[in-house]
Structure 1
Amino acid sequence: MSTVLTNITKNYDSEKAVLSDVNAEIQTGEFFVIVGPSGCGKSTLLRMIAGLTPISDGEIRINDKVVNGLPPKDRNLTMVFQSYALFPFLNVWDNVAFGLKARKSTSQAEIETRVNDALKMVNLETLKDRKPRELSGGQRQRVALARAVASDAKICLMDEPLSNLDAQLRIKMRQEIYALQRKLGLTLIYVTHDQVEAMTMADHIMVLHDSKVQQIGTPAEIYKYPANEFVASFFGVPPINILPAVKVSNGKVNVNNDFEVNIDQQVPTDNFKIGIRPNELVIEQTDELHANASVKSIEFLGDEKIVYAKMSNNDLEVAAVVASDADFKAYDTIKVSASDNVLLFNGDGVNITRNAEDVVNA
């Protein structure tokens, strides 16, 4: 039993497709995250699964049943919106019960049991008589979650549900949503533009960009074996350093004409790039004669620092993560090098690092 998307395409009146040939299989009970930058079609895809937006081409199957023409109420799923979509004139209890009452097929006793159980699950029993305006952002989000839980649907869709919350509350709500999904065994399809949310919550991640699926994989696969430059740059804080490189000899490549890295595989003779994560970039202070970069700025993060530097050639900027007690300051002359743990991308931006292709295409 699963949710299967086959060649899903969405066109409006413009020539360019909003989504093109989206394929995925979402297993029952998994936490599946759709991530990508604003405007990439994430919410559109979610709304098509929900039945709120018609598809232009392709097929959606839920539990082995084609649902292309089914209205939302017949798809046995529930949705949590970014805006919470609460009724301001109803109290918490009635907001959670609204969908159950609208069905008219659920007894009053069952409604009360489901609503009370859902409110208990999200710790809102004591606030059941309050109106939405009397609640904090996190509490409103819990009401929306309780409504989804009370519906007893086995598939829950969430469209950027935490984007309106402050950073600390987002962390707390991430943990609560993840725990709730595991406890109930829900199939949860979750849309976000936040790569941290995706990495910390997902069983599998779909990366969308430029109307197409760039990669589907586990968080570890996405991070370690990104399909291309876009995926590599989207995941990781600070972002990966992408630098031009040329082959020097077997086993060595020259990076940006500034330093060399050992590579244990065949690489193109020209027109390729190297990706170096900031924690794999090595910097040390040196005199001007031996320097290949200078420090531009520094961010102190408590247990570590991020050093932003400008390379001598091409004025390219790079970021390196160093210990919090490392003594660097703006305008220091430094020598930049890297470990051998790097990624390689061809002229089209495709990851050509050894073993990456097997993982990406698995």
Structure 2
Amino acid sequence: MTELELRDLRKTYRARGRPGVDAVRGLDLGLRSGELLGLLGPSGCGKSTTLRMIAGLESVTGGDILVGGASVVERPAQQRNIGVAFENYALYPPLSVAENLAFGLKARGRKARGDVDRKVKEIAERVGLTDLLGARPAGLSSGQKQRVSLARALIREPDVLLLDEPLSHLDAAQRDTTRRELKRIQKDLGHTTILVTHDQEEALSLADRIAVMKDGVIQQLGTPYEIYDSPVNVFVADFVGEPAITLLPGIAGADGRARLSDSVRIALPVPVQEGREVVVGIRPEDVRLTAEEGLPARVVAHEPLLESGLATLALDGVERHLVVLTDPEVRLAHDERVRVAADLEHTHVFDAETGEALR
């Protein structure tokens, strides 16, 4: 197993006569041996560019990449021993699954024919491809193609494994199954791994730690629990979580509450200077319907989802709606009047100007 470290890693794309575009801006990141890190963010945030620089498929504008303590930034891709499973699978259509798996080993010429065949059989058994070794990519399902792509990256026994949106082309059922298989394989083999994804559920369920990116900068690095429970800014709070967090603008008062409208005030979990503009963040599972005390609201919509319900509520005089996760037996009618209370311990407060969390 091998450690991976990124030091002030930067990538700027330049075109003649135009200002440069900074895709990655001074990334500092360290992975422990055997760790799976989720690189999470929206399209265009720089996560795939980061992966390609680590793999040697993209030149580096500045900074360093260290694998096992040694810099690889000057080494070509074929000398880095980094396995990559691509989003589009990148399989060779004329070759069978077995030939696809063996191709890289044969191209490097480092193993005898018998050793290559043995490695193919071993990795096929590990990833569940034994019955498909004679098949060609055209006859495989999306989930099977993804397993072949993963096996081809693993067969070279890489120091670091890079997964680029590995589940994005799978349907919901395949995604769930493949996600569980992927986690099992990664833990069994212990490869230091970076998972690039825009899917927060994928990152939360698979990763030991998550780095949330925006505009080429890591916004927050932490465990899935830390990212979800203690977001450092509005972007992280809004990007991570399904259903999404409700963000309500308000003004802090002298009584330790924020005024959301003329008639609605909500308690703040931390002291905030009177008159300061804030954004109050409340996750759907941290709000409950109450019989008497609580904020007055009107039911805009209620979705019974069998295992739970999802209610969209309009607070009196507040422009943005509040989303509440309800018990499965709750039934709410359109325009019904209710009262709700937020869990103060899990209420988040952000500065309205900077977006940073107030602790």
Q: Same fold (TM over 0.5)?
A: yes
Q: Which amino acid aligns with 1:295?
A: V
1:159-191: CA deviation from partner (whole Å, max 9, x where unpaired): 001100001111111111111011111111110
Report if aligned partners of 2:270, 2:358 keep a CA contact under 8 Å in 1: no
Task: Say whether residues 1:277 and 2:278 are aligned partners.
Answer: no
Counterpart residue number, 1:305 = 309
1:267-289: CA deviation from partner (whole Å, max 9, x where unpaired): 13221121111111233589xxx
- Any idea what SS the aligned residue of 1:328 has? coil
1:303-362: CA deviation from partner (whole Å, max 9, x where unpaired): 101111223324211210001111112222333332212111113110112xxxxxxxxx
Which of 181, 189, 192 does residue 187 from structure 1 map onto? 192
Alignment of 1:1-362 (within 5 A): 1-13=2-14, 14-269=19-274, 270-283=276-289, 292-341=296-345, 342-347=347-352, 348-353=354-359
TM-score, normalised by the number of residues in structure 2: 0.93
210-219 or 240-249: bigger deviation: 240-249
- The 1:262/1:314 distance shift into structure 2, 3 A limit, reads closer
Q: How far apart are 1:294 and its partner, in Å?
A: 2.1
Report if aligned partners of 1:291, 1:333 keep a CA contact under 8 Å in 2: no
Structure 2: distance between partners of 1:115 and 1:241: 50
Structure 2: distance between partners of 1:314 and 1:265: 22
Moved over 4 A (4+): none
Structure 2: distance between partners of 1:5 and 1:160: 20
Q: How far apart are 1:293 and its partner, in Å?
A: 2.9
Structure 2: distance between partners of 1:240 and 1:258: 22
Report if aligned partners of 2:256, 2:272 keep a CA contact under 8 Å in 1: no
Report if aligned partners of 1:6, 1:23 keep a CA contact under 8 Å in 2: yes
Q: Which amino acid aligns with 1:306?
A: L
Structure 1: distance between partners of 2:136 and 2:295: 63
Report if aligned partners of 1:244, 1:256 keep a CA contact under 8 Å in 2: no
- Any idea what SS the aligned residue of 1:163 has? coil
- The 1:47/1:257 distance shift into structure 2, 3 A limit, reads farther
343-352 or 264-273: bigger deviation: 264-273
Q: How far apart are 1:250 and its partner, in Å?
A: 4.3
Q: How far apart are 1:256 and its partner, in Å?
A: 4.1
Q: How far apart are 1:45 and its partner, in Å?
A: 0.6
Structure 2: distance between partners of 1:291 and 1:248: 17
- The 1:194/1:258 distance shift into structure 2, 3 A limit, reads farther
Structure 2: distance between partners of 1:34 and 1:203: 11
TM-score, normalised by the number of residues in structure 1: 0.92
Q: Which amino acid aligns with 1:310?
A: A
**Structure 2: runs of 5+ lacking an equivalent:** none
Structure 1: distance between partners of 2:193 and 2:263: 47
Q: How far apart are 1:76 and its partner, in Å?
A: 1.1
Structure 1: distance between partners of 2:173 and 2:273: 46
Structure 2: distance between partners of 1:37 and 1:268: 33
Report if aligned partners of 1:285, 1:332 keep a CA contact under 8 Å in 2: no
Report if aligned partners of 1:261, 1:339 keep a CA contact under 8 Å in 2: no
Report if aligned partners of 1:82, 1:161 keep a CA contact under 8 Å in 2: yes
Structure 2: distance between partners of 1:280 and 1:254: 19
Structure 2: distance between partners of 1:256 and 1:4: 48
**Structure 1: runs of 5+ lacking an equivalent:** 354-362
54-63 or 275-284: bigger deviation: 275-284
Report if aligned partners of 1:78, 1:156 keep a CA contact under 8 Å in 2: yes
Q: Which amino acid aligns with 2:81?
A: N
Identity %: 34
Q: Which amino acid aligns with 2:323?
A: A
- Any idea what SS the aligned residue of 1:11 has? strand
Q: Which amino acid aligns with 1:300?
A: P
